[in-house]
Structure 1
Amino acid sequence: MKLMPADSTPTTVAVKRAAARRSATNSAGSNTSMDAAPSAPGVASISDLSAKLSVYLSESDLKKVREAYRFSDEMHLGQMRKSGEPYISHPIAVAEICADWKLDAQAIMAALLHDVMEDQDVKKEELIERFGAPVASLVDGLSKLDKIEFQSQVEAQAENFRKMLLAMARDVRVILVKLADRLHNMRTLDFMAPEKKRRIARETMEVYVPIAHRLGLNNIYRELQDLSFAHLHPLRYRTIAKAVKAARGNRREVVSKILESVKNTLAAAGLEVQVYGREKTLYGIYRKMRNKHLSFSQVLDVYGFRIVVDSFANCYVALGTLHALYKPMPGKFKDYIAIPKLNGYQSLHTTLIGPYGTPVEFQIRTQEMHRVAESGVAAHWLYKSGDDSMTDLQQRTHAWLQSLLDIQKQTGDSAEFLEHVKVDLFPDSVYVFTPKSKIIALPRGATALDFAYTIHTDVGDQAIAVKINHEQAPLRSELRNGDIVEIITSPTSRPNPNWLTFVRTGKARSAIRHHLRTINLAESTELGRRLLNQALITLKLDPELLPQLAERLLNESSAKSMDELYADIGVGKRMAALVARHILGLVENDAGAAPSVTPQGDIIQSKPAPVVIYGNEGTSVQLAPCCMPIPGDGLQGQLRRDQGLIVHALDCDQAKRNRAKEPDRWIDVVWGQELNRRFDCRIMILVKNERGMLARIAAEIGESDANISYVAMDNGKDETMPITQLKFTIQVEDRVHLARLMRNIRRIPNVARIMRERG
């Protein structure tokens, strides 16, 4: 990406807007006072916002907010929303949502000003001068990078998210204002074109909904989920909404009976409680139907109850009382008070069998827990009581925000950063223990290696084994609730590219990729240089031209050096063929000549020269484990992002499937002439199950000058005689060596069949 040239016109848009505002005020006589009611169509009122703010802001803060409103109103004068409303109505609505959380004056000012940089070309320096650096930083964090050119819409979106999330890591108010902005946009999405509605709804579901959940903003989380669902799947939404409305009438008697019984029973136990009926969200019902393949009539827990008690101890008293009233369903009790969720959520959850055999979920919590459950991290502003009830939540939020900064340091580009962050935005968690009984929360599906990286990056990098519940286990073992996990490390251990196939957390993934990039930089750079030189030769260009074109090439590719460009090619982030064609364009522009083309408009070029490999290139060139190619096999190579060149045999079935999906990432590869090492391959042998067969075959492999690195046995039954299947991974020099070995084994009596195994 590159910066576009700045506007050289000395008269700024802000000055023009101010002049237009003064002209409009003189002609229409409109009032810009903060508390003014609309005097004419097209003038938005902020009387509701004013009423909300006057409850908790001082007069001096209100004065600052009024100034921000007037400036925003002036900047957005004449700008209209798709609904036909004046644009200023949107910032006012966003500020009202923030006021409901009782955010401070700076956040409210940022909410009112959040679009002036993006839409009206107001500079950050002007905001600093008028409203101070903190407000300007908040607005800057909320503004998209519209003045930068990106290669694609995906890259632009990813870079904007990275900017916003890093601003959030420095000040969580950025994301609170952004979520308020997104909520109001989703509420008014009906006026957008269908395709844009779907794109915004999908973006909301994938990024903003998980962030709202991660920060404990459950009210916004649920509303954004349902609004996204309504625009992504309108027919399904309407169908489920209609079914819920019908069920509401059918089940009213059951719900009323349960509500009355619960209130009376808890009152008889001497508990002061508040009982609320709770209806499952439409998206929650849809997700349960889809995941568990249920019809609507089979989703029995559409309704639930929330019980708010006056003290921590009474949560458990109320639980016991309810279990005495209705029978609990086995396996449906969760104690999120003893072990809170990642976002700080605390409650007791239990599902009971109510009247008529209907399962009913109950959530039991204190008033403080209820505040956090509904408002999450925003409860810090909502209820500043001076106690320590929010400390744990704030620490968890700070730890997550810090992890964003850690991922940013180790991540190559914005798309990769967004990928890592999405991985971490998971609502479901598992809770495991260190040997010293410290609780560690991880996303569901996390492995022992994820645990290691959660403890510390160095622990993950040097991990060699793990003990789960005091028993040895592989690093890829998936963790379960309650596991006691101990990581065994070695100073000589280093991350393996295969680890990327099973780690679950963004921190682990980014740390492994960062290590592979930095440690294997020399190998990747050399491979990238070879790939680019061969691509240039294919286009009949001399690689010696590169130094002359380096500066222009780097400016247009956003790489900092030629070595970085080579390394990006070597790890698969850039395609050598595309870079070579770009260089061809630079050369032809300098020469003033057009490239040779076919009648169809394609550039005429010869077939690319194959890449020569020797098997000792290091981790920048890996032999695919699916087909285990050996010298003598035909080869093809796949450039995979951050893993370099993966070499497959020509007849590999997996390679054929992958090549059909991404043909541009495949290149021709050939073996070099002098290969001074041995290569792994797999063979499978069917033998009659007689004493000493394994020993005889192993001896023959040794006499054939091959080495055994792995062996496995699988007994099976033939109709007439017992047969044993032996699987070996052996090390051979080439196909000729393998063929000689297989002939020797085939001569052994009672060997029924031998074959090389692929896949």
Structure 2
Amino acid sequence: MNLTPADTEVTGKPASRAKRPAKSAPGAATSAANAAPTTTPPVTSSPLATPTLTAGVASVTHLTEKLAEYMSPSDLKKVKEAYRFSDEMHLGQVRKSGEPYISHPIAVAEICSDWKLDAQAIMAALLHDVMEDQDVKKDELIERFGAPVAHLVDGLSKLEKIEFQSQIEAQAENFRKMLLAMASDVRVILIKLADRLHNMRTLDVMAPAKKRRIASETMEVYVPIAHRLGLNNIYRELQDLSFAHLYPLRYHVLAKAVKAARGNRREVVKKILEAVKNTLAMAEIDAEVYGREKTLYGIYKKMRSKHLTFSQVLDVYGFRVVVDSFPNCYVALGTLHSLYKPMPGKFKDYIAIRKLNGYQSLHTTLIGPYGTPVEFQIRTQEMHRTAESGVAAHWLYKTGDTNMSDLQQRTHSWLQSLLDIQQQTGDSAEFLEHVKVDLYPDSVYVFTPKSKIISLPRGATPIDFAYAIHTGIGDHTVSVTINGEAAQLRSELRNGDIVEIVTDPASRPSPSWLSFVRTGKARSAIRHHLRTINLPESIVLGRQLLTQALAAAHLEPDLPETLIERLLNESSAKSLDELYADIGIGKRMAALVARHIYGLMGGESAAMPVDHANAAELDPVTICGSEGVSVQLAQCCLPIPGDQIIGQLRRDQGLLVHTLDCTVAKRQKQKEPDRWIPVKWGSDINRRFDSRIKLLINNEKGILARVAAEIGESDANIVFVGMDEDAEHVLHQLRFTIQVKDRVHLAGLLRNVRRVAGVNRVLRERS
């Protein structure tokens, strides 16, 4: 996925950046711009109609009329000054549709005005592209409009002056910059979402491939951010607009089917509305009741997930009941259940346990007239305001505010977690990976032993729970009890679980945790620990790998100081040890670093000579089994000394050693052949290694004791034993995990066990 945080391509700006125009009198820049009003509509909850701007000139009149409803004259004056400056800076610049470019900042500011954002945010919305497009310096914005506005604009601007190794890295770094700016001021992301919404509304002029890329990025990143902040109106519209550009044919077919269904179901909707209103009135409940149509993407997603045709999706319409008080939510629920029968298992109380984004409502599905399932949402006016506007309904500018609402506190905690992840993350691509994990909203709610509710993503484990409480607890976790019973650390948590973590100050995170944790905070903390604690081991391994790669290129491992200095500058590493460590943990590939060095020495790195005939004969990395967690033995094949082995460099996890004939290794090697290196066993090995064996035995008395005794007499330790029986209860399979010195030791043990009476077959178990 390519990220375009400042949307230079999205907005259809000229390929070559417009030069900053000579400053003219403000009136000259704005008189023509005010000739005709813009037709940009505010945020709408009905994304079926895609709004567009009319071509021609742009006007700020509609925006100022909206702002005058809630803004003081002095603030309005500041906004007009920002508009005049933006209009002057973008003078002569047009969008791909042919409209003056200033129409885009005006439209973004209008969307922000629907949330009643303050003057600083509206000014930043009008100015959000001037730093990026017209080379306006931050100092100039501070001088003209104040530091808060300049900081907002800076958070929305791309990093243009930094050289990156790749376009993907540049895009990820820009996205990280925006999210970290959001962590200090949530208005940054609100303006960005308004910017993205207007770009999506006017995406038709772009080339098909670019439309798909932008729509995919919107669906993957900006839609979940809008949901995470509780901005449901934007969330739904961005979803439908992305769907329309990703799958235009499916969108239009489904839109046509929904339009036809409106006529067919109008009578049913009318009948339900009248019945509900009358029933609530008889119960003396003051309520607003109205029907709502599910979004096209919501219908499409249901059809895909449940393999339904459109005619089988019965709950295209839902109903919302907005009451005057919290107790009346539950009274209205009982009243509706007396009117129509509820469907079992279809009731959710998001008032008692609200969603992560602060959403609160009662959800129930009833069997309406003609046997049609009908979904109802019941909430108060305050809950409805939060459901539609999310964090935009409760401002979060000051982190020290002691009177923050619950939604503000939740949002503040999430924004702070971004800063925690940033501190522990090695690079921007990894940071983006962690954040995306946390953005997807499907969640479970579990309890601490003191009944505190912890919200986690679905599929989260006790390790995620431990890190959600505190990084120190996660780092020292050794075991867990769930609902009073011992459980595995990789267990998947479920709604309502009571989780208790057992810690030990001597315990440390295991690399294997990365294979099952779900939250970005846990993943970044584990990786940070592995990077810092195992640094000496990683440096040694990285140095050895780079020496081999240089030898394959016929280059000397002792590099001149001047070349090392250039290498560190261009690779963004602070020292040679840091470069070695990055190679040792798999963050950088030794062969690519060697190619870079060859290029710095005056050669063409793409054509670097590599002696493939001799590369296989180079000394492999020596494995002794005592390297620590920077070198792991794969659990799928459990290699032991004497096995032919091969090493896999995993990103941020170091070296994983497989047997050469491991089926898992063969599959992964086909996917990433450049991450595999030759390895060999060292001669000085003084430890034992786990190995699995499987026995086919007769079902007779004392057989397990005889086999266990023989294993003990063969000087091996039993770590695990399990048993499977066949359907006729005649033969059993015994499985042992044992500890042996090497392949010779294992072969002797297998011979001894094979002689035990009742053992029909014994073999080493692999993947």
- What is the TM-score of this pair, normalised by structure 2? 0.92
What residue in structure 1 maps to residue 765 of structure 2? 757
What residue in structure 1 maps to residue 163 of structure 2? 149
Structure-2 change in CA distance of 1:359 and 1:30 (3 Å): closer
Question: How far apart are residue 535 of structure 1 and its match?
Answer: 1.4
What residue in structure 1 maps to residue 732 of structure 2? 724
Q: 1:693 aligns with which of 684, 703, 706?
A: 703
What residue in structure 2 maps to residue 9 of structure 1? none
Tell me whether 1:367 sits opposite 2:381 in the alignment: yes
Tell me whether 1:197 sits opposite 2:193 in the alignment: no
Question: How far apart are residue 43 of structure 1 and its match?
Answer: 3.0
Structure 1 distance, partners of 2:55, 2:627, is: 72
User: Per-residue CA shift, 1:194-216, capped at 9, x if unaligned?
Assistant: 11111110110011000000000
Structure-2 change in CA distance of 1:35 and 1:50 (3 Å): farther
Structure 2 distance, partners of 1:498, 1:14, is: 48
Structure 2 distance, partners of 1:89, 1:212, is: 24
Indicate conservation of the 8 Å contact 2:554/2:610, yes or no.
Answer: no
Instruction: Give aligned-pair identity as a percent.
Output: 76
What is the correspondence of 1:208-607 to structure 2 with a 5 Å cutoff?
208-380=222-394, 391-545=405-559, 547-587=561-601, 589=602, 603-604=610-611, 606-607=614-615
Question: How far apart are residue 146 of structure 1 and its match?
Answer: 2.3
Corresponding letter in the other structure for 1:102: K
Any idea what SS the aligned residue of 2:346 has? coil
Any idea what SS the aligned residue of 2:637 has? coil
Any idea what SS the aligned residue of 2:715 has? coil
Indicate conservation of the 8 Å contact 1:467/1:487, yes or no.
Answer: yes
What residue in structure 1 maps to residue 31 of structure 2? 31
User: Per-residue CA shift, 1:625-646, capped at 9, x if unaligned?
Assistant: 1011111111111100011011
User: Per-residue CA shift, 1:59-86, capped at 9, x if unaligned?
Assistant: 1111111111111111111111011101
Structure 2 runs not aligned, ≥5 long = 1-15, 39-53
Structure 2 distance, partners of 1:717, 1:448, is: 36
User: Per-residue CA shift, 1:704-723, capped at 9, x if unaligned?
Assistant: 122211111111146xx711
Any idea what SS the aligned residue of 1:365 has? strand
Corresponding letter in the other structure for 1:190: D
Question: How far apart are residue 34 of structure 1 and its match?
Answer: 7.3
User: Per-residue CA shift, 1:290-316, capped at 9, x if unaligned?
Assistant: 111111111111100000011111111
Structure 2 distance, partners of 1:69, 1:303, is: 42
What residue in structure 2 maps to residue 741 of structure 1? 749
Indicate conservation of the 8 Å contact 1:347/1:364, yes or no.
Answer: yes
Q: 2:631 aligns with which of 608, 616, 621?
A: 621
Structure 1 distance, partners of 2:110, 2:18, is: 28
Structure 2 distance, partners of 1:548, 1:182, is: 46
Structure-2 change in CA distance of 1:37 and 1:340 (3 Å): closer
Question: How far apart are residue 36 of structure 1 and its match?
Answer: 7.9
Higher deviation after alignment, 666-675 or 93-102:
666-675
User: Per-residue CA shift, 1:210-269, capped at 9, x if unaligned?
Assistant: 000000000000000000011111111111111111111111111111111001100111
Corresponding letter in the other structure for 1:187: R
Corresponding letter in the other structure for 1:276: Y
What residue in structure 2 maps to residue 676 of structure 1? 686
Q: 1:99 aligns with which of 87, 97, 113?
A: 113
User: Per-residue CA shift, 1:653-675, capped at 9, x if unaligned?
Assistant: 00010000011111111111222
Question: How far apart are residue 604 of structure 1 and its match?
Answer: 4.8
Structure 2 distance, partners of 1:594, 1:225, is: 46
Corresponding letter in the other structure for 2:384: H
Higher deviation after alignment, 44-53 or 734-743:
734-743
Structure-2 change in CA distance of 1:388 and 1:277 (3 Å): farther
Structure 1 runs not aligned, ≥5 long = 1-12
Any idea what SS the aligned residue of 1:329 has? strand
Structure 2 distance, partners of 1:571, 1:388, is: 43
Question: How far apart are residue 32 of structure 1 and its match?
Answer: 6.7
Structure 2 distance, partners of 1:569, 1:742, is: 40
Question: How far apart are residue 18 of structure 1 and its match?
Answer: 4.5
Any idea what SS the aligned residue of 1:331 has? strand
Structure 2 distance, partners of 1:724, 1:738, is: 22
What residue in structure 2 maps to residue 5 of structure 1? none
Structure-2 change in CA distance of 1:186 and 1:176 (3 Å): same
Corresponding letter in the other structure for 1:142: L
Indicate conservation of the 8 Å contact 1:596/1:603, yes or no.
Answer: no
Higher deviation after alignment, 536-545 or 446-455:
536-545
Structure 1 distance, partners of 2:566, 2:263, is: 70
Structure 2 distance, partners of 1:400, 1:421, is: 10
Question: How far apart are residue 538 of structure 1 and its match?
Answer: 2.0
User: Per-residue CA shift, 1:477-517, capped at 9, x if unaligned?
Assistant: 21111111111111111111111111111111111111111
Tell me whether 1:711 sits opposite 2:696 in the alignment: no
Indicate conservation of the 8 Å contact 1:104/1:381, yes or no.
Answer: no
Structure-2 change in CA distance of 1:649 and 1:361 (3 Å): same
Structure 1 distance, partners of 2:604, 2:68, is: 69
Alignment length (residue pairs): 730
Structure 2 distance, partners of 1:707, 1:652, is: 24
Structure 1 distance, partners of 2:724, 2:425, is: 44
- What is the TM-score of this pair, normalised by structure 1? 0.93
Indicate conservation of the 8 Å contact 1:706/1:730, yes or no.
Answer: yes
Structure 2 distance, partners of 1:355, 1:478, is: 40
Structure 1 distance, partners of 2:467, 2:760, is: 48
Structure 2 distance, partners of 1:69, 1:722, is: 86
Tell me whether 1:661 sits opposite 2:664 in the alignment: no
Structure 2 distance, partners of 1:594, 1:563, is: 26
Structure-2 change in CA distance of 1:169 and 1:35 (3 Å): farther
Question: How far apart are residue 585 of structure 1 and its match?
Answer: 2.2
Question: How far apart are residue 547 of structure 1 and its match?
Answer: 4.5
What residue in structure 2 maps to residue 647 of structure 1? 657
Structure 1 distance, partners of 2:658, 2:345, is: 47
What residue in structure 2 maps to residue 114 of structure 1? 128
Structure-2 change in CA distance of 1:284 and 1:549 (3 Å): same
Any idea what SS the aligned residue of 2:558 has? helix
Indicate conservation of the 8 Å contact 1:368/1:389, yes or no.
Answer: no
Structure 2 distance, partners of 1:15, 1:682, is: 68
Structure 1 distance, partners of 2:403, 2:360, is: 12
Structure 2 distance, partners of 1:727, 1:152, is: 49
Structure 1 distance, partners of 2:732, 2:659, is: 28
User: Per-residue CA shift, 1:378-397, capped at 9, x if unaligned?
Assistant: 11269xxxx99971111111
Question: How far apart are residue 533 of structure 1 and its match?
Answer: 1.3
Any idea what SS the aligned residue of 1:545 has? coil
What residue in structure 2 maps to residue 48 of structure 1? 62
Structure-2 change in CA distance of 1:688 and 1:585 (3 Å): same
What residue in structure 1 maps to residue 13 of structure 2? none
Structure-2 change in CA distance of 1:490 and 1:292 (3 Å): same
What residue in structure 1 maps to residue 88 of structure 2? 74
Indicate conservation of the 8 Å contact 1:35/1:47, yes or no.
Answer: no
Structure 2 distance, partners of 1:668, 1:330, is: 59
